[in-house]
Chains A and B, each alone.
Chain A
Amino acid sequence: ETGVTQTPRHLVMGMTNKKSLKCEQHLGHNAMYWYKQSAKKPLELMFVYSLEERVENNSVPSRFSPECPNSSHLFLHLHTLQPEDSALYLCASSQEEGSVGNTIYFGEGSWLTVV
Chain B
Amino acid sequence: AQTVTQSQPEMSVQEAETVTLSCTYDTSESDYYLFWYKQPPSRQMILVIRQEAYKQQNATENRFSVNFQKAAKSFSLKISDSQLGDAAMYFCAYRSPHHSGGSNYKLTFGKGTLLTVNP
Q: Bound complex: CA of A103 vs CA of B36, how far in Å?
A: 11
Tell me the nearest residue of chain A to B91, going by C-beta.
Answer: A43
Q: Is the CB of A101 within 8 A of B43?
A: no
Q: Of the candidates B97, B105, B108, B109, which one forms a contact with A55 in the assembled complex, judged by CB atoms under 8 Å apart?
A: B105
Give the nearest-CB partner of A42 in chain B: B109
| A2 interfacial by beta-carbon distance below 8 Å | yes
Given known A-B contacts A108-B42, A108-B44, A101 and B97 have beta carbons under 8 A apart: yes
A99-B99, A103-B50 known; A50 vs B42 contact (CB < 8 Å): no
The answer to the question of B35 belonging to the interface, with a C-beta cut-off of 8 Å to chain A, is yes
User: Is A45 touching B98 in the complex (CB atoms < 8 A)?
Assistant: no
Contacts of A45 in B (CB 8 A): 103, 105-107
A contact set with B: CB distance below 8 Å: 2, 31, 33, 37, 40, 42-43, 45, 48, 50, 55-56, 58, 88, 90, 92, 96, 98-101, 103-109, 111
